[in-house]
């Protein structure tokens, strides 16, 4: 039995962890003793608790309650608390997901204690170090012992940085194991899609036209923290709803909600109203989100996870960024990088509404990534 400490802290990590935890419970409970640690990075009920409840993830064994703060303080506090916990629990390995400050803190605290780091969703790169996530990913990959990349592009990115799969186990930090496997987010979309149709009540509480809406999310600091960029995106939403005659549903990340409250042009914010076809709603649960994504005519987002869910659900996506880590989507023409330009966003939305793509080849695996990953963790020698 391998004792693994899994570190999560932010919304997409609860969702990613659900796939692995579910598979441990169903097929690997004799091999893996998983101890779930929540750093407390996200803490609002609809940014945290709802995912545990709805997705069947057990209560975290530890919640460090770190909360929001500047990067250095937040990451430092997490590291301090995680180090103490790791010294006490003495896990054989630590799983971290993705690219948040919780990922970085977990990877640094573990590697300095010589505890092997298992990075799930390794190798993704935007080649834009002004994104905090890019720094978190690069550092995490370079201190990892086992890396699981959901894309071939991710494997190539790691190779370019000199991180190459050592061909013989046991793997260790200087001789890492690097594996291409599917995307655990796809496991979740498949698993929760039916439940979402059966149980989500998201439309019942919303006065939107459920046959004619676009779904949008915005939360990247590059978009929310710039009045110019946020203004361009919000204007695009207004233009689209008027000129393309469609409604827009926008579940608001708390970072974005805060920035809207402080936005200098409050008349623009006031016009984001159901009367103008725009529905601003609080963040929604995963079942609600999958239902909203499934029925949308197209998706507009700067989220990594939402870009891929658009692909899984065969929806075109207008990406509100200048670059993406998920290049397969744009290379296949099923996503357009519209950045934060009103004109490009409107043009891209119009293009996709008139030309919905039909071909979504299985570049993110077959929906059984959690099993692939756990098979490797439990059979290959690493330490
Ligand atoms: C974080 C991740 C980002 C990820 C995103 C997923 C980092 C550096 N960023 O960004 O990679 O895409 O999570 O959603 O780790 N807040 C609340 N309630 C909460 C959580 C946050 O009000 O439950 C507010 C606070 O004002 C906080 C702000 O949102 O300062 C930002 O939260 P933070 O966790 O620092 O970054 P995110 O933008 O959520
Ligand atoms: N999500 C959700 N409710 C919302 C918005 C997003 O459940 O109101 C889910 C979404 O379906 C995806 C994940 O959160 O699985 C993406 O997280 P987020 O956009 O916060 O972060 P990113 O993926 O960009 O790191």
pLDDT value at 13 more than 90: yes
Ligand 2 atom nearest residue 253's Cα: 8
The pLDDT of 255-267, averaged and rounded, is 97
Which ligand is located closest to the Cα atom of residue 287?
Answer: 2
Which ligand 1 atom sits closest to the C-alpha of 101? 15
321 in ligand 2 pocket by Cβ < 6 Å?
no
Residue nearest ligand 1's atom 2 by CA? 100
Find, among 42, 30, 136, 37, the residue nearest to 89 by Cα.
37
What is the rounded distance in angstroms from the CA atom of residue 319 to the CA atom of residue 49? Answer: 28
Q: Whose CA is nearest to atom 16 of ligand 2?
A: 305
- Mean residue pLDDT across the chain: 97
Does ligand 2 lie within 6 Å of residue 289's CB atom?
yes
Q: Give CA–CA dist 283/298, Å, rounded.
A: 19
pLDDT in tens, 60-114: 999 999 999 999 999 999 999 999 999 999 999 999 999 999 999 999 999 999 9
Judged by DSSP in three states, 262 sits in coil
Which residue from 65, 57, 58 is spatially nearest to 40, judged by alpha carbons?
Answer: 65
Model confidence, pTM: 0.97
Ligand 1 midpoint to CA 48 (Å): 11
Q: How confident is the model over 336-381, as pLDDT tens digits?
A: 999 999 999 999 999 999 999 999 999 999 999 999 999 999 999 9
Q: How confident is the model at residue 289 (pLDDT cuts 50, 70, 90)?
A: very high
Do 276 and 242 touch, CB atoms closer than 8 A? Answer: yes
Query: So what's the pLDDT on residue 166?
Result: 80
Nearest-angstrom CA–CA distance, 143 and 173: 6
What share of the chain in percent tops pLDDT 90? 98
Residue 174 CA to ligand 2 center (angstroms) comes to 33
Can you list the domains of the chain with their CATH numbers? 2-183+365-379 (3.40.50.2000), 195-354 (3.40.50.2000)
Tell me the CA–centroid distance for residue 41 and ligand 1, in Å: 7
Q: Ligand 2 pocket test: which of 10, 12, 19, 287 has the largest number of ligand atoms within 8 Å of its C-beta?
A: 12
Longest dimension (CA), the chain: 63
CA-nearest residue, atom 31 of ligand 1: 255
Q: Which of 303, 307, 315, 324 to mutate to test the pocket of ligand 2 (most atoms within 8 A of CB)?
A: 303
Atom of ligand 1 nearest to the CA of 255: 29
Work out the average pLDDT over 270-274: 95
Tens digit of each residue's pLDDT (9 = 90 or more) over 306-342:
999 999 999 999 999 999 999 999 999 999 999 999 9
What's the pLDDT score for residue 205? 81
- DSSP output for 32-46: EEEEEEE--SS-SGG
Q: Does the annotation mark 71 as catalytic?
A: no
Measured from the Cβ of residue 352, the count of other Cβ atoms closer than 10 Å reads: 23
Contact 6, 37 (CB under 8 A): yes
**Intra-chain end-to-end CA distance of the chain, in Å:** 14
Residue 59 main-chain phi, psi, to 5 deg = -50, 135
For residue 305, what pLDDT is reported? 98
pLDDT for res 2: 97
Tokens of 53: 């409840």
* 38, 219, 253, 279: the active-site residue: 219
Give the whole-number percent of the chain exceeding pLDDT 70: 100
User: Count of alpha carbons within 13 Å of 50, Cβ hemisphere only?
Assistant: 16
Residue 98 CA, ligand 2 centroid: distance in Å: 13
pLDDT at 275 over 90: yes
**What 3-state class would DSSP assign to 120?**
strand
CA of 43 to the centre of ligand 1 (A): 10
Q: CA of 382: how far to CAs of 51, 92, 168, in Å?
A: 31, 10, 10
Distance CA 192, CA 264 (A): 40
Q: What is the token pair recorded at 380?
A: 């290959």
Residues 197 and 35: their CA atoms lie apart, in Å, by 31
Instruction: Inform me whether the pLDDT recorded for 167 exceeds 90.
Output: no
Q: In this structure, are residues 357 and 316 in contact, taking their beta carbons and an 8 Å threshold?
A: yes
Which of the four pLDDT bands, split at 50, 70 and 90, describes residue 165?
confident
Asked if omega into 164 is within 30° of 0 (cis), the reply is no
Structure-token pair, residue 112: 């300095």
Q: How far is the CA of 341 from the centre of ligand 2 (A)?
A: 23
- CA-CA distance, 139 to 127, in Å (whole number)? 14
């Amino acid at each position: 039995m391998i004792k693994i400490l899994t570190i999560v802290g932010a919304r997409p990590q609860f969702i990613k962890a659900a796939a692995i935890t579910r598979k441990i419970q169903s097929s690997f409970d004799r091999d893996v003793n998983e101890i779930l640690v929540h750093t407390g990075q996200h803490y609002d009920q609809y940014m945290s608790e709802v995912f545990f409840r709805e997705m069947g993830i057990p209560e975290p064994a530890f919640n460090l309650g770190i909360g929001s703060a500047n990067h250095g303080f937040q990451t430092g506090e997490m590291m301090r608390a995680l180090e103490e916990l790791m010294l006490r629990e003495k896990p054989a390995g630590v799983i971290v997901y993705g690219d948040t400050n919780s990922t970085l803190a977990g990877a640094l605290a573990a590697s300095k204690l010589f505890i092997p780091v298992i990075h799930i969703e390794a190798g993704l790169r935007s080649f834009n170090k002004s994104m905090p996530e890019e720094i978190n990913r690069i550092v995490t990959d370079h201190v990892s012992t086992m890396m699981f990349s959901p894309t071939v592009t991710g494997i190539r990115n790691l190779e370019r940085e000199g991180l190459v799969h050592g061909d013989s186990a046991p793997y260790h930090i200087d001789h890492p194991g690097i594996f291409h496997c599917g995307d655990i987010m796809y496991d979740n979309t498949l698993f929760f899609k039916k439940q979402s149709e059966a149980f989500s009540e998201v439309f019942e509480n919303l006065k939107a036209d459920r046959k004619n809406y676009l779904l949008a999310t915005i939360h990247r600091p590059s978009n929310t923290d710039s009045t110019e960029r946020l203004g361009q995106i919000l204007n695009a939403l207004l233009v689209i709803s008027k000129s393309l005659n469609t409604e827009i549903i926008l579940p608001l990340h708390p970072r974005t909600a805060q920035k809207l409250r402080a936005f200098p042009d409050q008349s623009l914010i006031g016009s984001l109203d159901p009367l103008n076809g725009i529905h601003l709603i609080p963040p929604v649960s995963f079942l609600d989100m999958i239902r909203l994504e499934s029925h949308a005519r197209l998706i507009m987002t700067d989220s990594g996870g939402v870009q891929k869910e658009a692909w899984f659900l065969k929806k075109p996506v207008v990406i509100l960024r200048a670059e993406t880590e998920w290049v397969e989507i744009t290379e296949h023409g099923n996503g357009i990088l519209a950045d934060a330009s009103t004109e490009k966003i409107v043009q891209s939305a119009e293009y996709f509404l008139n030309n919905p793509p039909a071909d979504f080849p299985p570049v993110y695996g077959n929906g059984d990534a959690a099993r692939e990953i756990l098979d490797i963790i439990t059979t290959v020698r690493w330490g």
